[in-house]
């Protein structure tokens, strides 16, 4: 399984975090206040949109201060009992060992308690959670950080937090800051890139560094050099925003109509929408029964999508959409979180997008060869192209003559050799192909070269 770059390159120190220097200074001052004992303000709230560095700052702070840390997030049940057993016990005047045993602070070291998505307390499952948080903040003997997207939502559910805790606000990073981080990641991965590619990723991310790093990793996979044409895999961030907003509504719909209507303004066909829903069921659903039911609805929708493709009967799309939206929405047995999750980009769409470039080049080569051999593209792709590629990789003279006959460019030659079009060998072969091109048959005024006894021609293939 690949390592996620967002974790691999997560900052280990506050000094490594890009942007939000005002918030970082407040975090340092608050942490320093614990050096002389338990301070008046024991809890810090980190507020900001996803991808701005809140969780990274909390973990980096623990590392800088030499504190252990314990974390609860949105995947945990945040009712009163769980908060008191984990955050409550952990935030008392105690610390813990690596094996999880609690020790007094005089024996061990301080522990930072991190409650992520603290504004997402909801429904019967989290009953008493807000009250438990307030009591924990009042009684904690250890530093505690609450991470929220919507501070007003937290205040509405737990008004006492405003008086008991300080607040540090994180804002979205600038395009320059995001670009700087992406360049550093590429340098450490030893991957080259055209400057415009980094700028394109940073612009699309709109200040969300986590999204930018995820986009970068998605584009880089299988490549040693990034070019501007590879940025097509990103799509439009605005379109993704529409889809993510629709997903939020679908997963919280109370009826089939409400779930279906959430997709009306989405500029995406059902084939792509079902991949978004499928990818994010594990993100949203809270139990195995819910996930089994939701995936069953998606699988039934996929049956109708296939029938649509095979029969070319697009009226079946309506059945597919109701199953993938309403069927998934009604799979819930527990109340959904009102907060926004960080939805994942569908892996199948990413793979499909990455393949568009190579497919286009393959089709171009097949088209040129099909015209020369007076056969169909399909025949060339199915029975000839793979064998031809294997042959020319061992016979450069044949490749050069083929290039002259078919007017192959660097992308075509790179495809046949399975090499980067900008590599030295491809450039050398292209130079030989274009050398003296006006004298080659097929060019204006061209003359057919004399065949030598040993030289192979395309007719021999």
Stretch(es) of the chain classified as CATH 1.10.8: 175-234
Residue 199: Cβ-neighbour burial (10 angstroms; 0-12, 13-18, 19+): middle
CATH of domain 175-234: 1.10.8
pLDDT at 453: 45
- Indicate whether 177 pLDDT > 70: yes
- 0.75 exceeded by the pTM? no
What pLDDT sits at residue 32? 93
pLDDT band at 454 (very low <50, low <70, confident <90, very high): very low
Mean pLDDT of 2-17: 85
In the structure, what pLDDT confidence band is assigned to residue 444 with cuts at 50, 70 and 90? Answer: very low
How large is the greatest C-alpha to C-alpha distance in the chain, in angstroms? 94
pLDDT number for residue 301? 93
Cβ–Cβ < 8 Å for 72, 86: yes
Q: Provide the pLDDT for residue 156.
A: 76
- Cα 239 from Cα 268, distance rounded (Å): 8
CATH code 3.40.50.300 region(s) in the chain: 5-169
Residue 394 has pLDDT above 80, yes or no: yes
* Domain at 5-169, CATH from 3.40.50.1580, 3.90.550.10, 3.40.50.300, 3.40.50.2300: 3.40.50.300
Provide the pLDDT for residue 123: 39
Beta bridge partners of 145: 44, 114
- Whether the Cβ atoms of residue 306 and residue 93 lie closer than 8 Å to each other: no
- pLDDT-derived band at 415, boundaries 50, 70, 90: confident
Give the per-residue pLDDT at 339. 63
| 457 confidence band (pLDDT: 50, 70, 90) | very low
Nearest to 16 by CA among 190, 170, 180: 180
Which of 31-35, 172-176, 407-411 is predicted with the least confidence, judged by mean pLDDT?
407-411
Among 227-231, 382-386, 450-454, name the one with the lowest average pLDDT: 450-454
């Amino acid at each position: 399984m690949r390592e996620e770059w967002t974790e691999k390159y997560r900052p280990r120190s506050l000094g490594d975090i890009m942007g939000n220097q005002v918030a970082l200074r407040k975090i340092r001052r608050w942490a320093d206040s614990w050096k002389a004992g338990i301070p008046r303000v024991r809890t810090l709230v980190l507020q900001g949109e996803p991808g701005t560095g809140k969780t990274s700052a909390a973990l980096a702070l623990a590392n800088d201060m030499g504190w252990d840390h314990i974390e609860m997030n949105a995947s945990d049940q945040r009712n009163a009992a769980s908060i008191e057993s984990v955050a409550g016990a952990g935030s008392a005047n105690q610390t813990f060992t690596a094996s999880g045993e609690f020790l007094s602070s005089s024996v061990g070291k301080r522990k930072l308690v991190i409650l992520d998505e603290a504004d997402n307390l909801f429904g019967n499952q989290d009953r008493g959670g807000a009250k438990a948080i307030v009591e924990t903040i009042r009684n904690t003997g250890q530093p505690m950080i609450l991470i929220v997207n919507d501070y007003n939502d937290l205040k509405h559910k737990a008004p006492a937090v405003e008086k008991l805790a300080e607040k540090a606000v994180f804002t979205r990073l600038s395009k320059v800051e995001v670009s700087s981080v992406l360049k550093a990641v590429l340098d450490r991965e030893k991957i080259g890139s055209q400057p415009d590619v980094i700028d394109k990723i940073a612009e699309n991310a709109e200040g969300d560094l986590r999204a930018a790093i995820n986009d970068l990793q998605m584009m880089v996979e299988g490549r040693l050099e990034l070019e501007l044409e590879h940025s097509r895999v990103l799509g439009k961030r605005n379109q993704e925003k529409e889809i993510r907003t629709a997903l939020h509504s679908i997963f919280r719909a109370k009826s089939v109509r409400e779930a279906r209507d959430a997709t009306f303004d989405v500029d995406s066909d059902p084939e792509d929408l079902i991949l978004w829903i499928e990818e994010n069921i594990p993100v949203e659903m809270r139990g195995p029964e819910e996930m089994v039911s939701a995936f069953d609805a998606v699988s039934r929708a996929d049956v109708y999508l296939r029938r649509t493709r095979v029969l070319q009967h697009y009226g079946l799309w309506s059945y597919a959409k109701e199953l993938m939206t309403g069927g998934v929405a009604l799979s819930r047995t527990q109340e959904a979180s009102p907060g926004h999750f960080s939805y994942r980009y569908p892996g199948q769409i990413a793979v499909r997008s990455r393949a568009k470039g190579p497919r286009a080049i393959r089709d171009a080569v097949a088209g040129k060869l099909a015209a020369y051999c007076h056969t169909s593209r399909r025949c060339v792709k199915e029975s000839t192209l793979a064998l031809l590629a294997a042959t020319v990789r061992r016979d450069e003279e044949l490749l050069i003559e083929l290039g002259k006959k078919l007017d192959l460019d660097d992308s075509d030659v790179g495809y046949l050799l399975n090499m980067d079009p900008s590599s030295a060998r491809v450039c050398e072969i292209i130079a030989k192909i274009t050398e003296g091109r006006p004298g080659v048959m097929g060019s204006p005024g061209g003359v057919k070269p004399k065949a030598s006894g040993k030289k192979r021609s395309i007719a021999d293939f």
